Amino acid sequence: MGAKLVLFAVVAWSCAAAQFGGAADDSRGYIPAWPYCSKTDNYTMNSQYQMNLNQLLNSLPIEAKKNGGFYKASFGAAPDEIFALIMCYSYRSWTQCENCLYAAANGITLFCPYSRTVDAVYDTCLLRYSNAFFFSAANTKVAFYFLKGYTDPSSMDAARRKLMGQLTEDAAGSPSPLRTANRSLAYKDSQGSPQVIYGMAQCTRDLNASECIRCLTSIVDQCLSTSPTAAMAASSVTAATSCTPYQSSMSSSLRRRRRNRLLSPLLSIPHHRQ
């Protein structure tokens, strides 16, 4: 029997997201999946906070395009200062990245009107902003679960644990500014047939190695202990499994653009096979 291809993806945004979709009726991924929107101390129409937020949201996709799909910034002065971060997932194409950057920044206030703090995960990118400083600190709070079924989860579970442990160390120690890593791991299922599991991990670039490890370790432990087939999303992390093998498509897209001198590319992601 030929080896199956299985993907386990986890990204840190303070751990970032991976293999994650928006709402079921949103094929483009421009609708955030159950975003966190603060409900207390909301800002008001035409307030200084709203004006600062609009200025910052307008600049995020423009600056992120210049910086290979990632940007963090603050705007304004206390008590109306706002901190924001936006990032594309490394396995998406540059076209998908650009579309998500603009869609997220332009549309998030429709989903979280007047919220001072927002954590939004999309199919291709993530967006976060708050009146409280959050850069360089991992957020591992779990927002929700959703389940995916597999025919042989028990044999896959041990392989996933081993693979994600390796990926956590790889992403945290990555010399690439992408703070991302991917691997594949061969294993045998309960019938003794050879299988291959694929995985990737990505931390946002504001995190140091220890915060990256803390975030990835926390979310992987929660996901695998909850259900071998559970996917998870948090304000800093998402994790999921799929039978579609991982592809690092953004790196290829950006290498093509580098030849055209259109933008500074992301670095290619090293792939490790064990």
Q: How confident is the model over 145-163, as a mean pLDDT?
A: 69
Provide the domain limits for residue 228.
5-16+142-250
Position 113 confidence tier, pLDDT thresholds 50, 70, 90 = very high
- What local confidence, expressed as pLDDT, does residue 140 receive? 72
pLDDT confidence bin for 86, thresholds 50/70/90: very high
Q: What average pLDDT score do residues 102-108 get?
A: 95
Work out the burial of residue 7: count CB atoms within 10 Å of its CB; fewer than 13 is exposed, 13-18 middle, 19 or more buried: buried
Asked if residue 174 is part of any domain, the answer here is yes
The verdict on residue 30 lying in a domain is no
Number of domains in the chain: 1
CATH number at residue 241: 3.30.430.20
